[in-house]
């Protein structure tokens, strides 16, 4: 009997059924093609692979999270294998980033990224990296070359787009001619310029101050940048001063240590039309620089790190914790790895486990078999904006016309003609206002030059290898002296029981000024001196009496005891003080352990509540917001995903800032919600008639503090009720505060099916920007998470195998691989994975073993 499909259906529906069947079959075929394409690029992680250029065999063990632990007999083999493994898992990310750092994104994506390339080419990151490479040590250059050989060995073995990753298959549709070029040492070095850019200091604050000055008198602008609260939020270093031309942690404060809080710039004005336009265009250029570690507005960029000595720990050895706060990226900017010489010798001196960057050999943050270290952003003022008087091809300097330095950049654009960019520079740096738009000529300031320490060749790559091989505090400090950009707070601990802190970096010394405002370049009086602050004068502490050190982008040291100006634009110490208080509380209970450190990393306390909630409760209020306000009466300030008070309070905070300041400030200078605004609002709460409370858009009345607070309480209720309903018991912070892991290249394409391939989430997450669990969001937009603890690490120097770590996403950069985002749910719950580093535990945990042979 012949089967007749759909015979039982009425005849009009039979054709519909047949069409649906064809569509289903095509969908299955396409799904099969997609699955084949996706899986074809997954790396080989078992068996054996021949790797020409190796001197000996290399073993790579991977645990169920896909984290590789590499074992070799020479340093060159170790870093060559690291290059191969990075390429296996993350080559698209590496290739994309080197196009970012070279200003060559338009070769991939066409005109859509042209403005980004112009901004990067103007600063010349790649050119600086090319100048830097010959200045590095012979050892460093050997390791960079070995790493590049490993990357290129993988690239040669995977010549087709579908062999490399799904991104290349997608790109082929738009740009079928593209082929990635071989990896070079300069590609690795240039990545550090991107790192330095994303961790720069107060450049945006300089512009924001100047733009705010176009609408407000200077004294009101200064209100928005209050002094650091040294009396309530302790700096990192609380002892010592400079004595005998070096920082001495044991020196007592004397007459020489009593200056200065920074001199004031006099005579700088930004009210002229030409300079305002130039600053606005300079701001657009800075906004056009793609973020590799930070969000576009850098909101929430920071970090926590702390170390506790053995006198306070259960093991009798130190504990070290670190969680850098960066933009939420897919895949995470970090790559976990272990680099182990089977036997420590002069030719193979590494036994290090930690977090690396794909594209760069070595480990950035982690531990060896003897020491551990962590980073937070020091945030010194290492960039200044100089207002220039440009006329034709010259600029004014000390009364003379000086010829501008010029160069041409050729930018290849996929699907279009090559674009020529003319870059012009003064002695202070490139003119960044000329990248996007033109400023009309004038006799006054009409251009903006950027001077930045990272535009001078340095030795940071040398520092990475030196830190990875250090065995004690003197060797670590010597390695840190090479870490010039970006300047970081370094915390340290070792198995001998020592803890320490070091502030490294190239930090300029100014002839005049404090770096907080754009300054006139034509006078020469604000120039940088030739030599930066000497390394030996930077703050450093070993084994402090209290037995702990906390850094969270807070002030390094009170300027009353320290003469050189580091910066005036610190984070305001809410995270650091909360961590410090928690450590003291835990120590008072008894000896602490790694689990205690992890709990502190998960602390969600909002340090603003103790000052703002009482003010919110005092004002007269009517309507449905009355019941919502009662949520705050007994709230402890915690911000878990299930917290109802946190949902309402953060909405009130958002509307309070917008109602208070948006009418007074240009768009670029409006509040994002960070802890600087905590301090501003705290001071304004004591000034109920301050002009900032007045809504300038209402012409018939003058609002006061209580008026704006009432409006904020009401607007917050309405917003949350519209989004979550009028049942207050159903409000949850996690329903507002969510994280979507977004691929840094194709995840924002605007094409929904492509974004669905590469993005993951959303996840509900606890905390907020200036809680220790720092999940940042921007009040100008909504509650969407923009920055996160990009990884977390707790190192137990008593038993390194009791250490823990977690990455934001996973080891793999291949969409749909098991390790693409497998760590994200663990991260969201605040848990850590075991951070194994001993050969026996590494091999026991391994689920894959790959041998590389010569």
Integer distance in angstroms from the first to the last C-alpha of the chain?
Answer: 64
pLDDT tens across 145-201, in order?
A: 999 999 999 999 999 988 999 999 999 888 888 999 999 999 999 999 888 888 876
Inform me whether the pLDDT recorded for 7 exceeds 50: no
Residue with tokens 């490139």: 430
Task: In whole angstroms, give the CA distance from residue 195 to residue 291.
Answer: 9
Inform me whether the pLDDT recorded for 15 exceeds 80: no
Inform me whether the pLDDT recorded for 540 exceeds 80: yes
Q: What is the pLDDT of residue 150?
A: 98
pLDDT tens across 447-483, in order?
A: 999 999 999 999 999 999 999 999 999 999 999 999 9
CB 297 within 8 A of CB 198: no
Residues of the chain with pLDDT > 70, as a percent, come to: 91
Beta partners for 376? 489
pLDDT band for position 30 (cuts 50, 70, 90): low
Residues of the chain with pLDDT > 90, as a percent, come to: 82
Q: What is the pLDDT of residue 259?
A: 38
Q: What is the pLDDT of residue 10?
A: 46
**Model-level pTM greater than 0.85?**
yes
What CATH superfamily is the domain 609-638+642-736? Aminohydrolase, alpha-helical knob region (1.10.1400.10)
pLDDT band for position 697 (cuts 50, 70, 90): very high
Task: In whole angstroms, give the CA distance from residue 654 to residue 662.
Answer: 11
Domain spans in the chain, listed from the N-terminal domain onward? 609-638+642-736
Would you call 331 exposed, middle or buried from its count of C-beta atoms within 10 A (0-12, 13-18, 19+)? Answer: buried
Task: In whole angstroms, give the CA distance from residue 538 to residue 505.
Answer: 9
pLDDT tens across 576-593, in order?
A: 999 999 999 999 999 999
362 — phi, psi (to 5°)? 90, -175
Inform me whether the pLDDT recorded for 275 exceeds 80: no
Inform me whether the pLDDT recorded for 254 exceeds 80: no
Inform me whether the pLDDT recorded for 122 exceeds 70: yes
pLDDT tens across 88-100, in order?
A: 999 999 999 999 9
Query: Which residues are CB-neighbours of 379 under 8 A, at least 6 positions away?
Result: 201, 202, 487, 553, 567, 569, 570, 571
pLDDT band for position 3 (cuts 50, 70, 90): very low
Q: What is the mean pLDDT of residues 676-703?
A: 97
Alpha helix stretches (DSSP H) within 166-247: 166-174, 185-198, 203-212, 218-223
pLDDT tens across 33-86, in order?
A: 556 667 789 999 999 999 999 999 999 999 999 999 999 999 999 999 999 999
Cα-only R_g, the chain: 28
Q: What is the pLDDT of residue 434?
A: 86
């Amino acid at each position: 009997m012949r089967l007749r499909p759909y015979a039982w259906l009425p005849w009009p529906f039979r054709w519909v059924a047949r069409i649906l069947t064809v569509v289903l079959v095509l969908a299955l075929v396409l799904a099969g093609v997609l699955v084949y394409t996706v899986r074809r690029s997954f790396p080989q992680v078992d068996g054996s692979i021949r790797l020409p250029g190796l001197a000996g065999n290399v073993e790579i063990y991977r645990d169920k999270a896909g984290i590789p632990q590499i074992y070799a007999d020479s340093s060159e083999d170790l870093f060559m294998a690291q290059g191969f493994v990075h390429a296996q898992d993350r080559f698209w990310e590496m290739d994309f980033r080197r196009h970012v750092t070279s200003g060559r994104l338009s070769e991939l994506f066409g005109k859509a990224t042209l403005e980004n390339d112009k901004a990067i080419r103007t600063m010349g990151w790649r050119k600086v990296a090319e100048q830097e490479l010959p200045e590095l040590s012979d050892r460093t250059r050997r390791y960079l070359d070995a790493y590049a050989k490993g990357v290129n060995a993988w690239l040669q073995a995977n010549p087709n787009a579908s062999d490399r990753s799904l991104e290349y298959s997608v790109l082929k549709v738009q740009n079928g001619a593209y082929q990635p070029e071989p990896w070079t040492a300069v590609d690795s070095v240039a990545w550090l310029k991107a790192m330095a850019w994303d961790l720069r200091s107060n450049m945006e604050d300089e512009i924001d101050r100047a733009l705010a000055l176009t609408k407000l008198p200077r004294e009101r602008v200064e209100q928005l940048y209050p002094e650091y609260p040294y009396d309530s939020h302790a700096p990192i270093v609380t002892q010592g001063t400079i004595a005998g031309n070096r920082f001495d942690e044991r020196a007592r404060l004397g007459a020489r240590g009593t200056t200065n809080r920074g001199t004031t710039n006099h005579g700088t004005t930004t009210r002229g039309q030409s300079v305002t336009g130039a600053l606005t265009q300079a701001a657009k250029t800075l906004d056009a620089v793609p973020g590799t570690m930070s969000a576009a507005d850098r909101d929430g960029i920071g970090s926590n790190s702390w170390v506790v000595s053995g006198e306070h720990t259960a093991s009798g050895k130190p504990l070290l914790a670190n969680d850098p706060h960066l933009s939420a990226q897919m895949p995470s900017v970090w790559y976990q790895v272990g680099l182990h010489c089977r036997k420590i010798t002069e030719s193979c001196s590494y036994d290090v486990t930690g977090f690396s960057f794909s594209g760069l050999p070595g480990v950035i943050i982690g531990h060896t078999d003897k020491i551990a270290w962590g980073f937070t952003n020091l945030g010194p003022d290492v960039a200044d904006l100089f207002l220039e008087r440009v006329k034709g091809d010259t600029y004014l300097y000390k009364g003379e016309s000086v010829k501008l330095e010029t160069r041409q950049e050729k930018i290849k654009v996929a699907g279009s003609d090559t674009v020529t960019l003319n870059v012009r520079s003064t002695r202070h740096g490139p003119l960044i206002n000329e990248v996007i738009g033109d400023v009309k000529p004038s006799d006054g300031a009409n251009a903006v030059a950027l001077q930045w320490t990272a535009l001078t060749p340095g030795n940071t790559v040398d520092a990475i290898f030196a830190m990875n091989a250090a065995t004690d505090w003197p060797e670590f400090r010597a390695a840190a002296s090479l870490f010039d950009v970006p300047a970081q707070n370094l915390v340290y601990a070792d198995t001998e029981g020592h803890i320490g802190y070091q502030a490294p970096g190239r930090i300029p010394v100014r002839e005049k000024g404090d770096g907080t405002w754009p300054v006139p370049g034509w006078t020469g009086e604000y120039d940088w001196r030739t030599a930066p602050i000497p390394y030996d004068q930077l703050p450093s502490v070993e084994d402090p009496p209290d037995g702990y050190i906390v850094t969270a982008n807070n002030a390094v040291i009170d300027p009353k005891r320290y003469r050189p100006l580091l910066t005036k634009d610190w984070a305001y110490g809410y995270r650091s003080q909360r961590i410090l208080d928690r450590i003291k509380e835990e120590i008072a209970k008894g000896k602490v352990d790694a689990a205690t450190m992890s709990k502190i990393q998960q602390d969600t306390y909002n340090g603003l509540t103790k000052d703002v909630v009482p003010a919110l409760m005092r004002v007269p209020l009517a309507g449905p917001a009355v019941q919502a306000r009662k949520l705050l009466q007994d709230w402890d300030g915690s911000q878990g995903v299930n917290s109802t008070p946190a949902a309402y309070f953060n909405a009130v905070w958002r509307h309070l800032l917008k109602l208070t300041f948006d009418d007074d400030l240009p768009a670029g200078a409006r509040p994002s919600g960070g802890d600087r605004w905590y301090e501003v609002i705290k001071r304004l709460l004591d000034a109920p008639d301050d002009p900032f409370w007045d809504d300038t858009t209402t012409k018939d009345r003058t609002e006061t503090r209580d008026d704006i607070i009432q409006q904020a309480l009401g607007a917050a209720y309405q917003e949350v009720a519209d989004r979550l309903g009028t049942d207050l018991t159903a409000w949850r912070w996690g329903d507002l505060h969510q994280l979507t892991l977004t691929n840094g290249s194709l995840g924002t394409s605007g094409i929904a099916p492509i974004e669905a391939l590469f993005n993951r989430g959303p996840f509900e997450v606890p905390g907020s920007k200036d809680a220790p669990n720092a999940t940042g969001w921007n009040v100008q937009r909504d509650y969407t998470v923009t920055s996160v603890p990009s990884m977390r690490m707790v190192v137990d120097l008593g038993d390194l195998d009791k250490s823990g770590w977690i990455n934001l996403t996973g080891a793999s950069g291949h969409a749909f691989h098991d390790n693409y985002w497998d760590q994200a749910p663990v991260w969201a719950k605040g848990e850590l994975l075991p951070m194994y580093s001993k050969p026996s535990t590494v091999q026991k945990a391994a689920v894959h073993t790959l041998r590389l042979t010569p």
